[in-house]
Amino acid sequence: MTFAGATTWTDFDLFGDPHRAMGVAAERMNDFRKIRIGRHAKRFRPSYALARHLQARSFFELEMRKPRSGKLVVISHHAPHAGAALAPSDPLGPDEILSAAYRSDLTALMRPAANDGRGALKPADLWIYGHTHESEDTMICATRVLSNAKGYGPWPPQQHAWDNRNFDPNLIIEI
């Protein structure tokens, strides 16, 4: 079995307006206010997240194009698909466009693809992600997609409540 992991970040392009999504994320997300890089000399910016997303996507695709005899499990922090719950309004409000900072559409990596000179793409058997503080267990094309993120918490006075009430601390999966 092979495991391939990366934060993945996002391409901010979930709704076709990555420039706006990056601007809203820069203003509203703690990631872009609190995370420091370069020996703590500068703030992490959405453009840096995009660059790291592109590197992670390339890494995952490379792993999926390598010959393998066993299963492949991909682990990312950010969600690899749009999610079923997203029904954006027109025009998109800031809360809606902000979801592009948590998710990217990587479903092309979940479909087998013929050899285009780089090797055939054989999708991951399982893709595990977090960041969205939700639970999900679904098939997307050829890949089982799973999230069991607990989210923040518990918050006093509720000592046993997580953001994600569907979080299962005893979840075990078989691959």
The tens digit of pLDDT for each residue in 87-110 reads 566 677 777 888 899 999 999 999
DSSP string covering 127-154, please?
EEE-SS--EEEEEETTEEEEEE---S-P
Structure tokens at 8: 């993945």
The confidence score (pLDDT) of residue 89 equals: 64
Number of residues that this document lists for the chain: 175
What are the extents of the domains in the chain? 2-148
Cα separation, 36 vs 83, in Å, equals 29
How much is the average pLDDT of 166-170? 85
CATH of 2-148, one of 3.30.750, 1.10.10, 3.30.70, 3.40.50: 3.30.750
The tens digit of pLDDT for each residue in 75-89 reads 999 999 988 656 566
The tens digit of pLDDT for each residue in 105-158 reads 999 999 999 999 999 999 999 999 988 878 899 999 999 999 988 877 766 776
How much is the average pLDDT of 42-63? 95
Cα separation, 20 vs 23, in Å, equals 5
SS3 111: coil
Helices (H) and strands (E) in the chain, counts: 4, 7
